[in-house]
Amino acid sequence: EEQTKQALSNLEAVLEASASSVGKVVKTTMLFLKHMEDFAAVNKIYEEFFSGSEHKPARSAVEVARLPKDVLFEIECIAG
């Protein structure tokens, strides 16, 4: 949960630094999870993160064997 919140916070900072915002996210192209059993907790945090947005971006999620720096969660997105 902590890593998911941090990754989403980082995503928000990157969006704002590029003159975009969470509300302009069209799609999160991928949620990468080290353990798929964490999906329910990640999904709850994801919903809270986008709760202020006009729309809820579509997403896909996959379980991966290993992520850079052995993190448990990673996200990609497309924004306007």
Q: Which of 36, 41, 40 is nearest to 3 (CA)?
A: 41
Report the predicted TM-score, pTM, of the whole model to 2 decimal places. 0.89
For 49-70, write each residue's pLDDT tens digit.
Answer: 999 888 788 889 999 999 999 9
Count up the domains in the chain and report the number.
1
The whole domain housing 56 covers: 1-79
Written as tens digits, the pLDDT of the chain (80 aa) is 999 999 999 999 999 999 999 999 999 988 999 999 999 999 999 999 999 888 788 889 999 999 999 999 999 999 98
Look up the CATH number of the domain holding residue 28: 3.30.1330.40
**Residue 58 burial (C-beta neighbours within 10 Å; 0-12, 13-18, 19+):** exposed
